[in-house]
Structure 1
C-alpha cells in the first residue's frame, strides 16, 4: 500500500469555517457563564457584607421594681459590753479559776495575784497606826491632866493650850495612819480579780507565775464580754444614709449559719460622714439566743430600702461611660441608636437604679458594642426583654 493512500484528505473550506464559528460561540458562552456566576457571587458578597456591617444588639426594657430593693453591706459584730481586765497591783499570778468560754457572774473570782510587797507595806502601815494611837492616847492623858491643874492655877493657860494642840496633832497623825492602812487594804483587795458583770470569759492572757504589772499599760489578764445581745457596726454609703434611720430593721447572715437569718435594729448613727471612705457609721442591736453569734465575727447586713416611685432599673452592663458622661444607648422607632444621658440614684452591683434620663417605654441596648454611634442602624437579636431586677 502506498503512502498516499494513508493521508487524510483535507476538510472542505466551508466545513472548516463552520467548525471555527462553533468553537468561538462555545468559548463565548463559557466566558459569559463565568462572568454571570462571578457577578452573582459578587452580589451575594455585597449583600452579606452589608448585612454584617449592621451590628446585632440585645434590647431590654427598664423595669419599675415593686419590691423594696435590698442593700447588702459587710458588718462587724461586737459584744454588747466588753471589759478588758488589767491588774491594779504588782506581783505574780498565784492562781486563776476560770478559763475561756466559761460563763461568769458579776463578782465571781477570776484569779488571785500574790503581792508580797503590799503585804509588807500593810504590816508597816498597821505598825505606824498602832504607834500613832499610842502617842495620841498619851497626849490625851497629858492634856486632861493639865486641864485639871488649870483650875487650881498650878499651870498657865498657855501651857494647857500647848498640850491640847499636841493632842490634836497626834489625833491627826492617827487619822493619816488609818487612811494609809485603808488605802493598802483597798489595794490588797485588787489582788483578787473578779468579773465586773455577768457574761462570758472570752480571753485569758496570763498563767500561774506570770509577772503582773499594774495599770493600763500592762498586759490584759482577762476579757469578759456580755454576749446576750450584740452590737453590729456597718459603714453605710453616704447616698443611702437618708433611707436608714434609728429603728430601721435589718437582716443579718453569717458564714457559719448560711441558712439562718438574724434580725437587728438600728439603735445609733454617727450623723457624720468619714471623708476617707464616704460612709457613715451605723450601730445595730441584735439578740443572741443560744450565743450563736460570736463577737468579732463578720456578718452580712441586709437593709430593705424604700421603693422609689419614679425610679427604673436596668442592668449595669447597659451603662456607657465616655466623654458625654453616663449614658444609655436606646433605640428609636426607626431602630436607630440614640444615646441618652442618665443619672444613677442607687447602685446594686449587677443592676442600677436610674434617677432620670429614660422612661419606662424606652428600649435600652444591653452591652452596646464598641464604636456604636448616635444614629447608627442596628438589628435586634432578641425581642425587647424586661430588665431583671436583683436586689
Structure 2
C-alpha cells in the first residue's frame, strides 16, 4: 500500500539553506573586494616656471553706454521698451506729451505766413516807390523809406522761419529715440512721470566692445605700470578659467580722493566679450617676472565645502586624500599648490574616480 504520511524536509538541508542566506552578503562583499578597482591617471606635482604678480577684482562695463534723458517738459505718455530689450538706432523709446510743443509749432507756422505776407507787401511797395521816384513824383527819402521797410520785412521773415525750425526741433524732442544699436540696460521712468529737460529716462548700451575696469591701489600703481603682462580672467564653460590679454588699456590720470585708487580700463577682444555681460565680476592679473611654482591640473582638486584636497598615490598604488592650500590659478598651466604636497608626489587627475574603492594609480 502507498505511504500517505506527510514528508518533512531533511533537517540538514534546512540548516544548509539558512547558512547560505546568512553568508550571501558576506560572499558578495568579498567578491566585490576582490574585483579590481578603476585605474586613475596621475601626474607628478613638479615645479614649473610661471609669471608671478598680483590680482585684483574688476567689473565688466560697456565701452559705449548712454543715459538717455528728456529734452522737453511734459508727462511721459508711453515707455515703449523695458530693461533687456534690443533696440535699433532711431527706434522710438519713449513719448512725452507734445500738446504744448504742437501749439508752439502751429503758432510759429502762422508767424511765418504773416511775415511772408508782409514781405510781399514791402516788395511791392518798394517797386512802386522806385518807379515813382524815377519819374520824379516822389522824393528820394520816400524811396529810402520803402527800401528800409523791405529790409525790415525780410529780417522779420527770417526770424519767423528760425522760430519755426526751433518749434519743430522742440516738437521732435517729445519723441525719445535710441542713439545707436544696442540693449536697454535699465529704465529710470514710467508712464505718467513728469519729464523735464535733463531728467534720465533710461540707459542704453552697445553689446560690444566691452572692457574690464579695475581700481588699483596707489601703493601698487608703480608695480602695475611696470608689469610686463596684464590679463583678465574669464569663466570657462567647463569650469576652468581662461586668461586673455586686453587689446587696449587706459589708465586714468587722476586718483580717487577717498579710496586712493587709480582706474584701469582694459578693452577686451570681441570674441571674449561675447562670453561676458555688463556688471559681471572678473579677476585682473598683473604679471611681472617668472618664478618656479608647484602646479597641478585644476581638475585634480577636490572641493568639499571649506576643504580643498587632492588624491595622492602611495608607493603601493593606492590613493590617499591630502588637504592642500591653493595659490594663484595660472589657467591652462594649472593651479598653484602652496602647502600640502611634496615634490614628485603623484596626484590623481580625476579625484572622483580616485575616491572609489579599490582605485589604483595608472599612467597618464
TM class, shorter-chain normalised? Answer: 0.5 to 0.7
Q: Cα gap change, 1:247/1:209 in structure 2, threshold over 3 Å: closer, same or farther?
A: farther
CA contact (8 A) 1:246 1:268 kept: no
Q: 2:213 aligns with which of 233, 244, 247?
A: 233
After superposition, the Cα gap between the structure-2 partners of 1:273 and 1:98, relative to the gap in structure 1 and judged at 3 Å, is: closer
Counterpart in 2 of 1:50?
none
2:94 is matched with: 111
Report if the CA contact (8 A) 1:74-1:301 is conserved. Answer: yes
Cα 1:243–1:113 change in 2 (3 A) is closer
Instruction: Check 1:162–1:301 CA distance in 2 against 1; reply closer, same or farther (3 A cut).
Output: same
Counterpart position of 1:30: none
Inter-CA distance 271–74: structure 2 relative to 1 (3 Å threshold):
same
Distance 1:264 1:224, change over 3 A: farther
Residue 37 of structure 1 aligns with which residue? none
Q: What is the match of residue 261 of structure 1?
A: 242
8 Å contact kept, 1:250–1:301:
yes
Unaligned ranges ≥5, structure 2: 1-46, 294-325, 329-341, 344-364
1:290-369, aligned counterparts within 5 Å? Answer: 291-307=274-290
Q: Given the two structures, how large is their TM-score scaled by the length of structure 1?
A: 0.57
The CA deviation string for residues 186-216 of structure 1, in whole angstroms up to 9 with x for no partner, is 11111121111121111122233332212x2
- The question of 1:251 aligning with 2:216 is answered no
Q: Distance in 2 between matches of 1:304 and 1:134?
A: 77
Structure 1 residue 113, shift from structure 2 partner: 1.8
Q: Residues of 2 paired with 1:136 and 1:292: CA distance?
A: 65
Residue of structure 1 aligned with 2:148, choices 153, 160, 165: 165
Match of 2:132 in 1: 149
Aligned residues: 250
Mapped partners of 1:256, 1:241: distance in 2: 35
1:260 Cα deviation after fit: 4.1
Residue 191 to residue 273, structure 1, CA distance change in 2 (3 Å): closer
Q: Are 2:154 and 1:174 aligned?
A: no
Out of 257, 260, 265, the residue aligned to residue 283 of structure 1 is 265
Contact 2:77 2:192 in 1 (8 A): yes
Deviation of 1:120 after TM superposition, in Å, equals 1.0
Unaligned runs of 5+ in 1: 1-63, 313-348, 352-384, 387-391
Compute the displacement of 1:101 (Å). Answer: 1.2
Question: How far does residue 156 in structure 1 lie from its aligned partner after superposition?
Answer: 0.4
Report what 1:221 is aligned to: 201
Structure 1 residues 282-314: Cα deviation after superposition (integer angstroms, max 9, x where no partner)? 210124557442223322222332237xx99xx
TM-score w.r.t. length of structure 2:
0.60
Query: CA, structure 1 residues 272+184, in 2 after alignment: closer, same or farther (shift >3 Å)?
Result: closer
Report the CA distance between 1:121 and its aligned residue: 1.2
Inter-CA distance 184–278: structure 2 relative to 1 (3 Å threshold)? closer
Q: CA deviation at 1:223?
A: 0.8
Equivalent residue number for residue 68 of structure 1: 51
